[in-house]
Amino acid sequence: MVQSRLARRSALTRHDPLDYHVLVGEIAVRAEVGGAHVMAEQLRHLLKAAVRRNIKLQVMPVPVGPADGPSHNFAVLDFATLPSIVFVELHHASAYLYDDDQVASYRAAAKTMAASAMDEGESARFIGEVIAELGGSGE
């Protein structure tokens, strides 16, 4: 598991990095997972990563969320020479969806959620404010 996460991370920082668009809920940004210090460090890591030109980070405010899209984590994966697929992460399982209609449905949900989310600048400012609230520097 650790190896696969490291491989994914390197895909974002290599010479020709993958494009990565992240939509994260406000509740997830505000949750103090591991305590205030740990969460502030995690949020600083997000801000640092989001500076990269291939990474787009948007925060979905509280009114936006499951009612506007799936209530579980998912990723639409696009490939240069293969059909797009969706990776769905549930509480006790995960799955890949290959059906074109399912992929289109998740892509539409992601587009709707992104349109309702804060833009990149607003998202960075918001995360900085949360870091400051946690007692860290919101740089």
pLDDT digits (tens, 9 = 90+) for 27-59: 999 999 899 999 999 999 999 999 999 999 999
Greater confidence (5 vs 18) lies with 18
Output phi, psi for 88, to 5 deg. Answer: -115, 130
pLDDT above 90: residue 105: yes
Task: Indicate the number of domains in the chain.
Answer: 2
Q: Are 135 and 98 within one domain? A: no
Q: What's the pTM?
A: 0.83
124, 118 Cβ separation under 8 angstroms: no
As a whole number, mean pLDDT of residues 78-93 equals: 93
Q: Are 111 and 82 within one domain? A: yes
pLDDT above 60: residue 65: no
Q: Are 32 and 75 within one domain? A: no
Task: Tally Cβ neighbours within 10 Å of residue 25.
Answer: 17
Greater confidence (3 vs 103) lies with 103
Question: What percentage of the chain reaches a pLDDT higher than 90?
Answer: 72
Question: What range does the domain containing 72 cover?
Answer: 65-116
Contact residues for 68 (Cβ-Cβ < 8 A; gap 6+): 60, 109, 112, 113, 116
- Residue type (1 letter), 82: L
Q: Are 3 and 46 within one domain? A: yes
